[in-house]
Structure 1
Amino acid sequence: MSTARAHRDGRLLTAELRLAGRLDDRLFRLLQAIGETGSIHRAAATVGLSHKGARLMLETAGNMAHEPLLASAVGGAGGGGTRLTPAALSLLAAWQALQNDLEAFLREQEQRLATQPALTGLLRRLSMKTTARNQFAGTIRHVEIGPVSAQVTLALKSGDEIVATLTTEAARRLEVREGADALALIKASAIVLVTDFAGWRLSARNQLAGTVSRLERGQVSTLVVLTLPGGDTLTASVTNEGVEALDLKVGTAATAAFKAYSVILAMPA
């Protein structure tokens, strides 16, 4: 089969699948695994799908294609199995060609972004995946390194500050220095909300005052989103009983308190 025909047939099948809103790279990986294993069951396990889910995906794709994608292989040492039809092979060839084009495009864009440091930094911050609900970008304003621990003050764009305490070894390993960009990561469960200090002062180094802007209630706990004066938002995880006890509502003034040891500092690699 010629490459031109493979691309043409592949584009046709791809367009049909896309129109149905079901185009997913799992389908291509599933087809590829079927071609390698000769078994839908083994292929489903290879790509992390259930056998039922794989069957459903294949049936949906097959219903939208002009030609069958799978054929039964009978006899042989393995007792038969499933093989890909020429139409499925054309689809895989087109997909692989698209993947190659995409990789080339991404490499080109990466080189382009390298000439725009500000944009590159923003994309790097946005691309970081973490379980910490709160992620703040800022500039290190002050560093105080002691024999055992170090204290780092991060200035946010809003004017607020977050203080992180880490070991001296970690500070040296991260090459923490004043003027450098950094991220502060704080888990929502590490934040305590206060609505009335009643004349008491807290030992928590970080205390950011704001206004409740959103409540997302769950079965056990509620995510409380606090908007700070500068526009940054901070999320705290509070038990439902705690929300009721504090009478938290949208518009309620509250202060988010969290220890400096609860802040994880991230520096560019």
Structure 2
Amino acid sequence: MKPHDQPLLQGELRLAGRLDGRFFDLLAALALTGSLQKAARAAGYSYKGAWLVLDAAGALTHAPLVETTTGGTGGGGTRLTAEGQALLQAWRELQARHAGFLREQEAWLAGQPALQQLLKRMSMKTTARNQFSGRVLDVQAGPVTTSVRIGMDDGTHITASMTSLAAEELGVDLGQDALALVKASEVVLVTDFGGYRLSARNQLAGTVSRVQRGAVSSLVVLTLPGGSTVTASVTNDAVEALGLAVGQPATAVFKAYAVMLAVRG
């Protein structure tokens, strides 16, 4: 796995629905330091918060998990009871089993290429509302600019333009899985071309399927014939001027330079 890759499967382990990794970090730090104040700081709790969570956990187990001592040669402190130690040990064992389970499922997933690719596309996090997944169909490299055409499963094609240096750094090649990312603010909606033709490379005709009005602007969603959707962010004035409403045909237009291309490294 490359350093920047994230596992496709993740799962949070909890006991009794509320005892999570942070709580057991507190127990582990307490076992190590013998000081609740130090353990609370290490696990990100306040001193009072640590006592509260320990009391709540003790109520679940019906036995105290920590005990305090005062004075003596050691100067007193806080330590885990036998029940606390047993719970911490059980957590560590369960963690190992849980990690093993996730590894087994990752191995199974590796044998399901279509599902694996779907999850990989879903794992990318970005603020761009429009994310089109497909494969690189054509690469036109020039001395300064490179044009890349991406084909989706539903037959939709999107063209992205970038510097040739950027295309070289991405290692764009035919047949690669790719994501085309387009901000909603970069999409222009056209309901009537009035006999004109536009220079924008990407012109996707569809039907308005949703209009979500805000205080100043609206999000307008177009559904394309193949089932994909395109979201545009337009002013409320523009929505009213165009009479945009559900069921109305419209075309989403955006420049090739507005498309950010992502390929798996």
What TM-score range do you get, normalising by the shorter chain?
A: 0.7 to 0.9
Structure 1 Cα separation of the partners of residues 46 and 250 of structure 2: 47
> CA distance change for structure 1 residues 182 and 68 in 2, over 3 Å: closer, same or farther?
same
Shift of residue 39, structure 1, vs aligned partner: 4.4
Q: Which residue of 2 aligns with 1:138?
A: 134
Q: Which residue of 2 aligns with 1:149?
A: 145
> Residue 236 in 1 paired to residue 232 in 2?
yes
> Residue 208 in 1 paired to residue 201 in 2?
no
Shift of residue 151, structure 1, vs aligned partner: 0.1
Amino acid at match of 2:114: A
Shift of residue 230, structure 1, vs aligned partner: 0.2
> Residue 193 in 1 paired to residue 172 in 2?
no
Shift of residue 241, structure 1, vs aligned partner: 4.0
Does 192-201 or 167-176 show the bigger shift?
Answer: 192-201
Structure 2 Cα separation of the partners of residues 25 and 176 of structure 1: 41
User: How many equivalent pairs are there?
Assistant: 251
Shift of residue 142, structure 1, vs aligned partner: 1.1
Q: Which residue of 1 aligns with 2:109?
A: 113
Structure 1 Cα separation of the partners of residues 178 and 229 of structure 2: 17
SS in 1 for 2:126: coil
Shift of residue 25, structure 1, vs aligned partner: 3.8
Amino acid at match of 2:98: L
> CA distance change for structure 1 residues 213 and 84 in 2, over 3 Å: closer, same or farther?
farther
The 5 Å alignment of 1:1-269 reads 17-18=16-17, 22=18, 24-32=20-28, 38-39=35-36, 43=40, 46-47=43-44, 60-71=56-67, 84-269=80-265
Checking the alignment, whether the CA contact within 8 Å between 1:40 and 1:82 is kept in structure 2 is no
Structure 2 Cα separation of the partners of residues 50 and 241 of structure 1: 51
Amino acid at match of 1:160: T
Shift of residue 260, structure 1, vs aligned partner: 1.0
Amino acid at match of 1:202: L
Shift of residue 232, structure 1, vs aligned partner: 0.9
More helix by share: 1
The share of aligned pairs that are identical, in percent, is 57
Listed one character per residue, the Cα deviations across residues 161-212 of structure 1 (whole Å, up to 9, x for unaligned) are: 1100111112122221222221111222222222333334333221112222
Structure 2 Cα separation of the partners of residues 31 and 43 of structure 1: 9
Name the TM-score, length of structure 2 as normaliser.
0.76
Structure 2 Cα separation of the partners of residues 243 and 41 of structure 1: 58
Structure 2 Cα separation of the partners of residues 106 and 255 of structure 1: 44
Structure 2: any 5+ residue segments left out of the alignment? Answer: 1-13
Shift of residue 146, structure 1, vs aligned partner: 0.2
Structure 2 Cα separation of the partners of residues 202 and 194 of structure 1: 10
Q: Which residue of 2 aligns with 1:4?
A: none
SS in 1 for 2:138: strand
Q: Which residue of 1 aligns with 2:7?
A: none
Structure 1 Cα separation of the partners of residues 169 and 37 of structure 2: 48
Name the TM-score, length of structure 1 as normaliser.
0.75
Shift of residue 159, structure 1, vs aligned partner: 0.8
Checking the alignment, whether the CA contact within 8 Å between 1:45 and 1:51 is kept in structure 2 is no
SS in 2 for 1:224: strand
Amino acid at match of 2:219: L
Amino acid at match of 1:195: T
Structure 1: any 5+ residue segments left out of the alignment? Answer: 1-13
> CA distance change for structure 1 residues 69 and 135 in 2, over 3 Å: closer, same or farther?
farther
